[in-house]
Amino acid sequence: MTQYWDPALTQKRALINQEAALGVANNAWGQKNITQQHKTAFRALTQQYAQQRANLPGSYAARGALDSGIYKQGLIDFNKQRTNQFQNLAQQYAGQQHQYQQAGAQNTLQQNQSLNDVDLAEAQARNQLATQLRQVA
């Protein structure tokens, strides 16, 4: 709809758009922040499991069980635990990303609804003005 002559409605539209832009900026910052946190956690987990994997044979060799099925089972258990930890980290990150996507969609929805409300108020004011003009004529 075209801009209405009422400066209050024009100002309201501008404020709605500013609030929406602020929401977009906050959302982008939050997504960047969680991405950095995920990368840091991923690197730390990678280093942790690399060190644990390097030390794994030594603990079995000290007991003379390196060539046994006990070591192989320990290695299987280690890999399962490692896989689970990385999957949990990925799921946590995906959940956070989803929350930000939902917030972005909600922000857009709120902006559109607010602008529609302003458009409706403008249309009602125009209709009322037209009614008044018809009564004068």
Question: With 70 as the cut, is the pLDDT of residue 95 above it?
Answer: yes
Query: Which of 1-15, 20-34, 55-69, 74-88 has the least mean pLDDT?
Result: 1-15
pLDDT higher than threshold 60 for residue 3: no
Mean pLDDT of the chain: 91
CA distance 75 to 56: 8
In degrees and rounded to multiples of 5, residue 2 shows phi and psi of -70, 160
The type of residue at 8 is A
- The whole-number pLDDT of residue 59 equals 81
Stated pTM of the model: 0.76
